[in-house]
Amino acid sequence: MNNDIDIEDIQGLITKGYSDLAACKFLLLAIKDKAAAKKWLRSIVPEVTRSNQKQPQAALNIAFTYDGLEALGLPATSLDTFPLELQDGMITPHKQLFLGDHGESAPGNWEWGAQHTDAIHILVALYAATEQDLASLCSSYRAGFKGNGIREVRELATAGLTKRKEHFGFHDGIAQPTIAGLNRKDVPENTVATGEFILGYKNSYNQFTLSPAVSEQVGESNLLPKGNAPDLRDLGRNGSYLVFRQMEQDVQLFWQYMDKATTHDGKCDAPAMIKLASKMVGRWPGGAPVTACPHQDTPDKENDNSFTYRDSDPEGLNCPVGSHIRRTNPRDMLDFNRKTSIDISNKHRILRRGRSYGTPVCESLDPQEILQATEVQGKRGLHFICINADIGRQFEFIQNSWVNNPKFLSLYDERDPIIGNNMHPQFPEETGVFSSPTDGLRDRHTGIPRFVTIKGGAYFFLPGIRALTYLSTI
Ligand code: N7H
């Protein structure tokens, strides 16, 4: 482990997704009594999972919204040092436009995190090996909330699906950037500056990302490292920002669209249907990248991440330019110079830490079985979580400039077919387009509806461990 990185002080969720801990719940809390809440915080800091803990049996991580930091009593002078993205949150009219949250996805329709729903102050993320272990972990923490001025606003349950898939049936959680300095072996192209994900370290610009600060006069500030002015302490060091979006997936609509788009003479063409969906994602259901395996899913490539696009697939004949993975990480396609392009892409990377929720339409997640399913009940989707040190330059940029940008690279009227808000804000009857180039021509798929709807969300500050203790002393 690189000695320069204070791994012990970094919450575990930044460096790992706890994939061995299949059971997980997110609790959204509100502070009712700040003195009692700080006492509670102090008591649980020793239980918070750190990045140096190898294969923990269970995990706990904690993050705060801007409102939560205010409710805890952080002075305004310190609150002002947080980035505007955290201060503004996700639901201002400007952000709505920026993130594409209109129509059904507008915050007015959200179940949490919106103006009409209860304020969210704290996110508690709990992980365990089994549902039984998770239930007992949860009840012991819940006992701690009571009598400590903390109210549980919402519980967000999760569901582990077969073969590490998400609800549409695609193997997920494959491509992640490797944090520089953590002694994990990866190619240089996928190794991204520490400061892109952890505050207090140099980022891809060889600079320190702005970090929130506190006055030396407030709380036990000697717990924190010195800040960039004589009377300031660095509250951000070893922390990060966590983006949470509850994304409901209409799984049947997804496969009905793929089916209709590939049915000929009234006959379903299952291989063509699966190929179209895979081209929209950029990977086959099993995980193999379509750019490297254009004809079929290839089991021994299920975790392959060793591809780029410029040399092997510049026009997107295999993996269309507008596919989900080419948009969210264009790799070497942004500039004629390969290195420059990868350097640019790597200024907009995120660590994905989401978990699926809800009962799958069918256990197998096989597209044909999904299509045949009747009397499907309940809602399902992804609790999308990502970690980044600069919400504006990382998550928001991806969402605005790539996912929902109709003019992305060589395209002119398409959005991300999987997660883009395909309904136009002014013309809700308009639907999405996806073009898939073929030799000399292109297949243009129109009438793509919204497959994913936002149901809630918030931005959180995920402090370092010492900063968590500090927050209990203010
Ligand atoms: Fe995506 N999906 O199932 O179709 N995503 N994603 N995502 N996503 C990826 O490589 C999916 C969402 C990224 O480096 C895969 O892990 C779904 C948001 C990035 O090659 C699959 C939802 C954002 C990558 C999905 C959803 C991103 C990526 C391929 C919501 C950011 C890596 C498997 C319901 C704003 C790209 C893998 C790379 C991959 C799906 C959301 C970003 C299968 C269903 C909101 C950066």
DSSP 47-80: GSPBTT--S-SEEEEEEE-HHHHHHHT--HHHHT
Cα–Cα distance measured from residue 194 to residue 178, given in angstroms and rounded to the nearest whole number: 9
Pocket of ligand 1 contains residue 170 by CB under 6 Å: yes
* Burial of 441 per CB tally in 10 Å (0-12, 13-18, 19+): exposed
- Convert the pLDDT of each residue in 426-472 to its tens digit: 776 778 999 999 887 788 999 999 999 999 999 999 999 999 999 99
Say whether 346 sits in a helix, a strand or coil.
helix
* Burial of 62 per CB tally in 10 Å (0-12, 13-18, 19+): buried
Pocket of ligand 1 contains residue 292 by CB under 6 Å: no
Q: How far away, in angstroms, is 401 Cα from ligand 1 center?
A: 15
Identify the pLDDT of residue 15.
Answer: 97
Cα–Cα distance measured from residue 194 to residue 211, given in angstroms and rounded to the nearest whole number: 14
DSSP 238-280: T-EEEEEEEEEE-HHHHHHHHHHHH-BTTB--HHHHHHHHHHH
- Residues constituting the chain: 474
Q: How far away, in angstroms, is 394 Cα from ligand 1 center?
A: 14
Rg of the chain taking only CA atoms, in angstroms: 22
User: Which runs of consecutive H residues, i.e. helices, occur in 146-264?
Assistant: 251-262
Pocket of ligand 1 contains residue 173 by CB under 6 Å: yes
Pocket of ligand 1 contains residue 373 by CB under 6 Å: no
- Convert the pLDDT of each residue in 257-300 to its tens digit: 999 999 999 999 999 999 999 999 999 999 999 999 999 999 99
Identify the pLDDT of residue 423.
Answer: 73
Cα–Cα distance measured from residue 241 to residue 239, given in angstroms and rounded to the nearest whole number: 7
Pocket of ligand 1 contains residue 67 by CB under 6 Å: no
Pocket of ligand 1 contains residue 284 by CB under 6 Å: no
DSSP 383-395: EEEEEES-TIIII
CA dist list (Å): 57 to 22, 53, 128, 158, 353: 11, 10, 6, 18, 18
403 forms bridges with which residues in the sheet?
none
Which atom of ligand 1 sits closest to the CA of residue 305?
20
| Ligand 1, atom 26: closest residue by C-alpha | 419
Q: How far away, in angstroms, is 325 Cα from ligand 1 center?
A: 6
Cα–Cα distance measured from residue 316 to residue 436, given in angstroms and rounded to the nearest whole number: 7
Q: How far away, in angstroms, is 247 Cα from ligand 1 center?
A: 12
CA dist list (Å): 104 to 118, 212, 233, 382, 385: 20, 35, 43, 17, 21
Pocket of ligand 1 contains residue 99 by CB under 6 Å: no
Q: If you search the block for the tokens 């999904």, which residue do you land on?
A: 370
Cα–Cα distance measured from residue 201 to residue 5, given in angstroms and rounded to the nearest whole number: 8
Q: How far away, in angstroms, is 470 Cα from ligand 1 center?
A: 35
CA angle 168, 172, 178 (to 5 degrees): 160
Q: Estimate to the nearest angstrom the gap between the alpha carbon of 162 and the chain centroid.
A: 20
Q: Which residues of the chain have pLDDT under 50?
A: 1-3
Pocket of ligand 1 contains residue 418 by CB under 6 Å: yes
User: Which runs of consecutive H residues, i.e. helices, occur in 128-224?
Assistant: 131-145
Cα–Cα distance measured from residue 412 to residue 408, given in angstroms and rounded to the nearest whole number: 7
Cα–Cα distance measured from residue 464 to residue 5, given in angstroms and rounded to the nearest whole number: 12
CA dihedral of residues 324, 329, 334, 337 (deg, nearest 10):
-140
Identify the pLDDT of residue 348.
Answer: 98
Name which of 251, 169, 254, 240 is nearest 201 in CA terms: 240
Which atom of ligand 1 sits closest to the CA of residue 170?
43
Q: How far away, in angstroms, is 329 Cα from ligand 1 center?
A: 9
381 forms bridges with which residues in the sheet?
248, 357
Pocket of ligand 1 contains residue 283 by CB under 6 Å: yes
Q: How far away, in angstroms, is 203 Cα from ligand 1 center?
A: 23
Q: How far away, in angstroms, is 221 Cα from ligand 1 center?
A: 39
Identify the pLDDT of residue 147.
Answer: 86
Pocket of ligand 1 contains residue 172 by CB under 6 Å: yes
| Ligand 1, atom 35: closest residue by C-alpha | 399
Pocket of ligand 1 contains residue 291 by CB under 6 Å: no
Identify the pLDDT of residue 425.
Answer: 67
Q: How far away, in angstroms, is 324 Cα from ligand 1 center?
A: 7
Which atom of ligand 1 sits closest to the CA of residue 280?
4
Q: Estimate to the nearest angstrom the gap between the alpha carbon of 43 and the chain centroid.
A: 29
| Ligand 1, atom 27: closest residue by C-alpha | 328
* Ligand 1 pocket test, candidate residues 328, 349, 452, most atoms within 8 A of CB: 328
